[in-house]
Amino acid sequence: MTKIKILLTIACSSLLISCYAQLPTDSTAEKMLVYQLGNGGWPKQLEDKSVVNYGASLTPELLAKIKATKDLHATFDNKATSREVVYLVKAYKKTQNKAYLTAAEKGLDYILAAQYANGGWPQYYPDQSSYRSEITYNDDAMINVLDILQDIATKKNDFEVVNPEYIKKAEKAVAKGIDCILKTQVKQKGELTIWAAQYDKDSMLPAKARAFEPASLATGESAGIVRFLMGIKNPSADVKKSVAAAVKWFDTYKISGFRFVREKGRTASLIADNTSMAWARFYDLEKNVPIFGDRDNSIKSKLEELSAERRNGYAWYGNWGQKIIEKEYPKWLAINGK
């Protein structure tokens, strides 16, 4: 009898292994499962500050570094967490490998848990140190998260595969996020302008981040916010007003006929280009003039005043608002009206 039980156990185990082996897999998704932290989020860097690289082989040395990485490293910075959730959902739809969907939904739980009561998201969660706790539009951190939640709420971009229980949660989180966006749009003498890159989580006032990132109007992030707002179906009067004001600001402060060049071996600068528009990355919160931060916390009024390392090491100008002004806003306006 014992011998029969052993044989049956071996047979069942072999069958399970065989079934698992036949499950389609995705090599990148498999690595994402390994990198996922205990709280459901993903890091952009490991404990030793090495950057997460899904192209790297999972050597014993790398696996040890991943294992040593604490939950405090979970972040939305540099597309971390949002990138993985999007990829895993698509990988699940392609392979039907349940492990990918489970990991993606664990990531969604992390996203929902990280949202503040005021609707914003921090750069890191649960790490509250320094500027990591600030409401963060910088590098589209909050917009990337809202895009995912909007896709869940509208069952788009493969997110129809997630548990339907997430739909109501996503709708609520998106509504709070939009409210946060509208409340944080900077006003000057009662007039709406654009947005800062990050805000104090309690006062909801513009805040600084790294030494060279002062509290300021941030054009790159604001362009992403405008696009998100323009993607809302049947926008409210407040959303329409917000979009119109931001586009007006972009149009008013555009630098026509120039583009920014930052190439190796060449000093970063604006050069003439009659097909392009440019905006500085940061503008003074009250005067709407370009400002440039350096590593010593100083703020300069001209690009040329920066240290060589900072001048050539950051995107101080860009064409962030050009497509919005020329194509996207007119198209949106034709559909939604003023």
Is the distance from CB of 259 to CB of 299 less than 8 angstroms? Answer: no
Torsion angle defined by CA atoms of residues 26, 30, 32 and 34, in that order, rounded to the nearest 10 degrees? 180
The total number of residues written for the chain in this structure? 338
0.85 exceeded by pTM: yes
Is the distance from CB of 230 to CB of 243 less than 8 angstroms? Answer: yes
Is the distance from CB of 242 to CB of 222 less than 8 angstroms? Answer: no
Nearest to 37 by CA among 77, 78, 80, 79: 80
As a whole number, the mean pLDDT across the chain is 94
pLDDT digits (tens, 9 = 90+) for 101-130: 999 999 999 999 999 999 999 999 999 999
CA angle 25, 13, 3 (to 5 degrees): 170
**Mean pLDDT, rounded, for 181-186:** 98
Choice among 132, 144, 157, 210 that is catalytic = 210
Domains along the chain with CATH numbers:
22-182 (1.50.10.20), 185-338 (1.50.10.20)
Phi and psi, residue 292, nearest 5° = -135, 125
Helix count (H) and strand count (E) of the chain? 12, 11
Question: Does position 1 have pLDDT exceeding 90, yes or no?
Answer: no
Q: What is the pLDDT of residue 264?
A: 84
Question: Does position 12 have pLDDT exceeding 90, yes or no?
Answer: no
Choice among 78, 118, 288, 312 that is catalytic = 78
pLDDT digits (tens, 9 = 90+) for 184-233: 999 999 999 999 999 999 999 999 999 999 999 999 999 999 999 999 99
Question: Does position 308 have pLDDT exceeding 50, yes or no?
Answer: yes
Tokens at residue 117, please? 């009561």
> What is the spatial distance between Cα 17 and Cα 142, in angstroms, rounded to a whole number?
41
Q: Please name the residue that has the structure tokens 């007003």.
A: 241
**Mean pLDDT, rounded, for 45-63:** 97
210 labelled catalytic: yes
Tokens at residue 244, please? 């119109």
Residue 21 confidence class, pLDDT cut points 50, 70, 90:
low
